Structure 1
């Protein structure tokens, strides 16, 4: 019996033991190489593009020999103004990508001995980077579309006489959201959060190439997609798959997302549900890559992303 890739040694190419054994210098070097891969880690001035520099080693900064601009390996990126040491930042990313069902901010804060606020913002910055990877992606070929409800649980009253029918709109909390997923077989996974599943029709029309073959369940609003796509339907009350038509990959994504929310985060605000859905989609898309490749992919993307406008100064802004 062959061994699954995720259970093999090839899937484990990065560990906390190796990160902390290598120390700050090795972690710093890894960030430099991922920031400037074209020069093998030798810095390039972000202001003028000059490759000649002075190395201010005591401050982990560089000074451009041409324009005298000072910069670091994280200047102008989503990690700008970081306070964590590079070895701790690399360790945090290792823990983050190792968690196949997500990681809570409380757990990360305890593992690294940092404040909960630090862990919370860092993880959401990483999720922002994940979202950038598919920001312009369009799907083609065979695509599955489906939706699932999250949040908005209404606890039943203690006494049976006080309980109300929670299926009725008037007795709901108004916090329930729908995650719509578009998943290309052998390709990428795209997600978006809506108040109603029917709103996902426009999302599908926007992100799927015309002529693609779509698989969906028999919910009526997906009928509107038949004008642009080869729409195949499966009746889940009779079968989960019929003649090759199924939404099993979409259901696999929802399975991961539900376990992430219920098992790790326990509750997710509708405001941030899209970020967690994108995180689960990223994990699904890269599930057969080693943890070292996942860490390098995420760090490289983060060092190519601009300063976050959503998460910079998150705890200092007035409550909204």
Structure 2
């Protein structure tokens, strides 16, 4: 039996021990190289683009020679107004990617000795940066589509006579949402959050190539796909795979997302469901990438992302 990738030495190329041995100066240099790779880590003014700047060593800031604007390596990025040290930021990214099923904000707060609020916002900022590449993604080839429902849990009554059929819409809370995953075989995936499966058809039109072949189950919400694509269906009440038609890779995504919900975060519904779905999609797409490369991918995405309008000053409303 072949060894699982996560058990192999190829999966481990960066450890927390290496990060903490770096020291603050070396960690700072890593962020400079990620922010300004075209200038070999040298500062570039975010306001005018000038490559000449004075170095203010006492505050790790720069002053542009051209427009006299003062800036730092994190100015204008998702880490703007940060208070954590660069070593702790890099360690937080490594901790974040090392969790194959995700990492809870409570565990991160204990590992880094920071407040839960700090770890919660930092984790969501990383998820927002990771999701930036999803906006313009187009899927081609064989694309598997499926939907799964999250949230809106209704607790059963104590006495059996008082219990209701929770499968009926009249007995639900109205908070249940559907995560729809579109996954290209051997390629990338793309999640959406909608009310019902059929509501995702407009998103399919925007993000799936017209020459693609779509595999879906027998849910009535996917009947409209036949009008635009070569669509093949599999009846799961009879078989999980029939004549090469299946949604197994989509189910793999939901398996990861369910394990994140039940074992790590415990509650991922509501307005942040899309963020967790995007994280699960990213982890599925990069499940065969070593953790060092994953950490640099996340750090690079964070340094390339703009200031978060959703999470900057979150706890101050």
CA distance in 2, matches of 1:236, 1:245: 11
Residue equivalent to 1:310: 310
- 1:160 paired with 2:160, answer yes
CA distance in 1, matches of 2:178, 2:271: 12
Q: Does structure 2 conserve the Cα–Cα contact (< 8 Å) formed by 1:211 and 1:228?
A: no
RMSD of aligned C-alpha atoms?
Answer: 1.2
Greater mean deviation of Cα atoms: 285-294 or 272-281: 285-294
In the TM superposition, 1:32-111 aligns within 5 A as 32-111=32-111
CA distance in 1, matches of 2:65, 2:36: 17
Secondary structure of the 1:272 match is: helix
Shift of the alpha carbon at 1:211? Answer: 2.2
Shift of the alpha carbon at 1:269? Answer: 3.0
State the TM-score, normalized to the length of structure 2: 0.97
Q: Does structure 2 conserve the Cα–Cα contact (< 8 Å) formed by 1:181 and 1:190?
A: yes
Shift of the alpha carbon at 1:2? Answer: 5.0
Residue equivalent to 1:216: 216
Residue equivalent to 1:169: 169
Greater mean deviation of Cα atoms: 240-249 or 166-175: 166-175
In the TM superposition, 1:222-301 aligns within 5 A as 222-301=222-301
Deviations, residues 171-217 of structure 1 (Å, cap 9, x unaligned): 11111111001001122111111111111122212211112100000
Secondary structure of the 1:13 match is: coil
Aligned residues: 317
Shift of the alpha carbon at 1:143? Answer: 0.2
Deviations, residues 37-96 of structure 1 (Å, cap 9, x unaligned): 112211111122222222112211111222221111100001000010000000000000
In the TM superposition, 1:178-217 aligns within 5 A as 178-217=178-217
Q: Which runs of 5+ in 2 are unaligned?
A: none
Q: Does structure 1 conserve the Cα–Cα contact (< 8 Å) formed by 2:183 and 2:189?
A: yes
Secondary structure of the 1:137 match is: coil
Secondary structure of the 1:54 match is: strand
Q: Does structure 1 conserve the Cα–Cα contact (< 8 Å) formed by 2:218 and 2:233?
A: yes
Deviations, residues 260-312 of structure 1 (Å, cap 9, x unaligned): 01100111232111110000000011111111111111111111111011111
Shift of the alpha carbon at 1:13? Answer: 1.4
CA distance in 2, matches of 1:146, 1:283: 18
Residue equivalent to 1:9: 9
Greater mean deviation of Cα atoms: 6-15 or 113-122: 6-15
Greater mean deviation of Cα atoms: 87-96 or 286-295: 286-295
Q: Does structure 2 conserve the Cα–Cα contact (< 8 Å) formed by 1:36 and 1:42?
A: yes
